Structure 1
Amino acid sequence: MVTTFFWGGTFVSARYAVSEAPPFFAASCRFLIASVVLALLTALQSHRQGHSFPVPASLRQAAGLFSLGLTGVFLYNAIFFTGLKLTTATSGALIVAINPLLTAVLSALWLREKVNSVQVAGITLSLAGVFVVVAKGSLQVISSLSFNKGDVIMLGAPLCWALYSILGKKILASFTPLAATAYASAFGTLLLIPAALLEHAAAGAPVPGFSFLGWLAIVQLALLGTVVGFVWWYQGVQRIGTARAAAFVNLVPVFGALLASVFLKEKLIPAQLLGGAMVIMGVYWGSRSRCRTRTASMPMVSADEAKP
């Protein structure tokens, strides 16, 4: 539960961070810190297990790890931070909540995983909920297609994460989850830093920086939302099992909306409440059905598959 609280807080922290600095600069700071800590944790884990630091055994493995950094770190965070600069943390949290079911859809198309009728119903309900959130419940918005740009951009975030999750399934056959995440974070950072430099050159503005609260937001994103959240998620899955852990993911948009109302003074409108409830119900419905169809021999679910 604390892990999902941290993940819900990332929407508030990111919203605050991009109010002080450009999106790519904020994302670079987040993952530069996270990469260092994840690399140290991976080295410590390897040492405790009596192994050397894991390295790709082939160019194909290296390309696979790079693809994780491209989709789950670089593209996801480019969309995540850019979208939150233009929309509210509440809307962002509710939109990104469709991650698990969008992953199920792409898994069915790409990996040929079976999707039953209950999952289809859950996916449909969630997508309808996202549409209500994006349209703010306004028929005028729908008829004129005058959607908030940030909401539309945020729709790309769960797509990137779904791609990252599917690619991660193959990588986890060769690397531990911690090592794969460390490499993804490192490769993503190597892509984010040049993008931040180009962003700065194009803007022609002074070198960006953060206030104390801004750096506090970055530290929350890097350490609590990325490193601690990852480690604690896996510890939780190992203790209570896949199915029970997956249900907790539905708390992320709830915590995101509540924290946004407290720290950013964002107000929940009826359309967001309705759409959010539809998203959460649809995700819960579809995810529970998906958990029941998994084989009992699987020890854990990938955090990449369940994490918003």
Structure 2
Amino acid sequence: MSVHTPHPPRFSPRSIGLAAAVVTVLIWTSFILIARASADPARGGVLTPLDLAFCRIVGASLILLPWGAWLVRQDRAQGLHGASWLGVSPLTAGITVKVGIFGGLVYAMLAYSGFAYAPALHASVLMPGSLPLWTALLAAWLLRDRITPTRAVGLGLIVLGDLLVGGLSLLRAFDGGQVWLGDVLFMSAAMCWATYSVLARHHGLEAVRATIAITTLAFVVYVPSYSVLVLSGLVNGHVFTAPWRDVLFQATFQGWGSVVISGITFTQMIRHFGPVRSTMITALVPGLSALGAVVLLGEPLRWNLAAGLTLVTAGILFGVRASLPNALKKVAASA
């Protein structure tokens, strides 16, 4: 007589999606604080913003490129000879280049460069805060997602919050300030990441493969180009002369944490919640990172920043509220 041993229950898709959301929020919050502390010239950092991008890409590549080569070999063993690029990216060349430009290459350069000009409080509002705005607009255009009236109100609040933060910085540009430049870079970085997230949903990309693909493109294009520019003296970089502890720390956090772990968890969020709802779930990031900037970095919370943060967070929560009816319908249908 055989005894049947029940298999332990697997995690439900909802549990996986929620876990991915928590990890993503924590890493994104830490990313803003650490990047500002590292890229701000006034804090005595030894690495430039482009050095940080280099560490991010190299650190992630140490894990993801061998992983990608293994996946490609597995695919070829199953007869899938066309779904790879350079024997490393497990996606086709066309898709690798498309998602890699936005999610791997340009995003990193824009985001880290922004931290050299604007404080973390601005990044808290303008990067995760404007992400739902760009994602909703791109998803409406590319995926034909409908912007409901409630979601439209949320997006309007986000625009007002961004204008309070970035608009006043732009006005101060006439007095010689450069904070506005960082704000523009933050908004542009958010738009690049939104483009990547919508493309990932449009092509139905699996989390690990998408993250490997964007890292492959960034490694192939950025690492050799930046190395030549720094070693020839055409670009002021310190990645080859800085203390190894600084380089190792940035490669570990920026590469392994911000790319490998959060890249996979974010894409997993997209697969479970969709691109718009996924970016809405990051409503905690602006508040948490702003609080960290005040407490840990000593940045002043001026009235326009506080008001912009409140409006952006309220706008994101409106978007979450707009997504709840559809989520409840899905739960009821699967019950």
TM-score (norm 1): 0.79
Mapped pair 1:189 → 2:222: no
The corresponding residue for 2:24 is 3
* Per-residue deviation, 1:110: 2.6
Kindly report which structure 2 residues correspond to 1:27-66, keeping only aligned pairs within 5 A, or say none.
27-39=53-65, 56-57=82-83, 61-66=92-97
Deviation string, structure 1 residues 188-218 (Cα, Å, up to 9, x no partner): 2222224423653323566452563564244
Unaligned 5+ runs, structure 1: 298-308
Contact persistence 1:69–1:188 (CA under 8 A): yes
Q: Distance in 2 between matches of 1:186 and 1:272?
A: 37
Match among 51, 70, 89 for residue 25 of structure 1 = 51
Mapped pair 1:149 → 2:203: no
What letter corresponds to residue 293 of structure 2 in structure 1? A
Q: Distance in 1 between matches of 2:243 and 2:122?
A: 24
Unaligned 5+ runs, structure 2: 1-21, 40-44, 86-90
Deviation string, structure 1 residues 84-112 (Cα, Å, up to 9, x no partner): 11111221121012212311111112332
Match among 276, 285, 289 for residue 318 of structure 2 = 285
The corresponding residue for 2:18 is none
* Per-residue deviation, 1:77: 0.9
Mapped pair 1:180 → 2:206: no
Larger radius of gyration: 2
Question: Number of matched residues?
Answer: 292
Mapped pair 1:252 → 2:285: yes
Contact persistence 2:47–2:237 (CA under 8 A): no
The corresponding residue for 2:137 is 105
The corresponding residue for 1:74 is 105
What SS class does the counterpart of residue 203 from structure 1 fall into? coil
Contact persistence 2:51–2:237 (CA under 8 A): no
Match among 112, 115, 120 for residue 152 of structure 2 = 120
What SS class does the counterpart of residue 116 from structure 2 fall into? helix
* Per-residue deviation, 1:132: 0.8
* Per-residue deviation, 1:161: 1.1
The 3 A distance-change label for structure 1 pair 73 and 237 is: closer
The corresponding residue for 1:161 is 193
The corresponding residue for 1:263 is 296
Contact persistence 2:99–2:199 (CA under 8 A): yes
Contact persistence 2:50–2:109 (CA under 8 A): yes
Q: Distance in 2 between matches of 1:47 and 1:194?
A: 25
Contact persistence 1:21–1:208 (CA under 8 A): no
The 3 A distance-change label for structure 1 pair 162 and 229 is: closer
The corresponding residue for 2:121 is 90
* Per-residue deviation, 1:166: 1.9
What letter corresponds to residue 255 of structure 1 in structure 2? L
Q: Which of 33-42 and 148-157 deviates more?
A: 33-42
* Per-residue deviation, 1:121: 1.1
Contact persistence 1:13–1:220 (CA under 8 A): no
What letter corresponds to residue 299 of structure 2 in structure 1? E
What letter corresponds to residue 53 of structure 2 in structure 1? A
Match among 277, 280, 296 for residue 330 of structure 2 = 296
Contact persistence 2:59–2:254 (CA under 8 A): no
CA RMSD, Structure 1 to Structure 2 (Å): 3.7
Q: Distance in 1 between matches of 2:69 and 2:79?
A: 6
Q: Distance in 2 between matches of 1:44 and 1:30?
A: 22
